[in-house]
Amino acid sequence: MKHIYTHEELLVLHSVKNILTRHGIDSFVKNEHVAPMSARHGISNMFHELWVYNDEDYTKASTIIENEVENPEPKVSWHCAGCDEDNDGSFEVCWKCENPPAEI
């Protein structure tokens, strides 16, 4: 097992965990339930951490985190053919009418 990522927000940490899972990498969150007791356990134990189970996955997981979490490629905005609305590239469906982008 190897430590791969640390973040103070559990929501962000679980999002990263989900991204790794989507790529077939098993991981787990450490220190998830100690935040209320962090003063008793010491500052080194209060940060939430993500660990990969298999050491062999560490390099692949590091690359995924670098590319998809730390420095994601910006996605191109798109125009909805259904309602004529402009959408940010991060939207998989139109925010206004919920139609997917038209295939080009």
User: For the segment 67-90, what is each residue's pLDDT rounded down to a tens digit?
Assistant: 988 887 788 999 999 999 999 988
pLDDT of residue 47: 78
Question: For 43-63, what is each residue's pLDDT tens digit?
Answer: 555 678 999 999 999 999 999
User: Given this model, what pLDDT does residue 83 score?
Assistant: 95
Q: Which domain holds residue 46?
A: 2-70
**Domain shared by 63 and 13, yes or no:** yes
Contact 85, 79 (CB under 8 A): yes
Weakest mean pLDDT among 19-23, 30-34, 63-67, 75-79? 30-34
- Whole-number pLDDT of residue 56: 97
Tell whether 65 and 26 lie within a shared domain. yes
Q: Do 61 and 80 fall within a single domain?
A: no
Task: Please tell me whether residues 60 and 101 are part of one structural domain.
Answer: no
What are the DSSP calls for 45-85, one per residue? GSSEEEEES-GGGHHHHHHHHIIIIISPPPPPPEE-TTT--
**28 and 8 part of one domain:** yes
Same-domain status, 22 and 66: yes
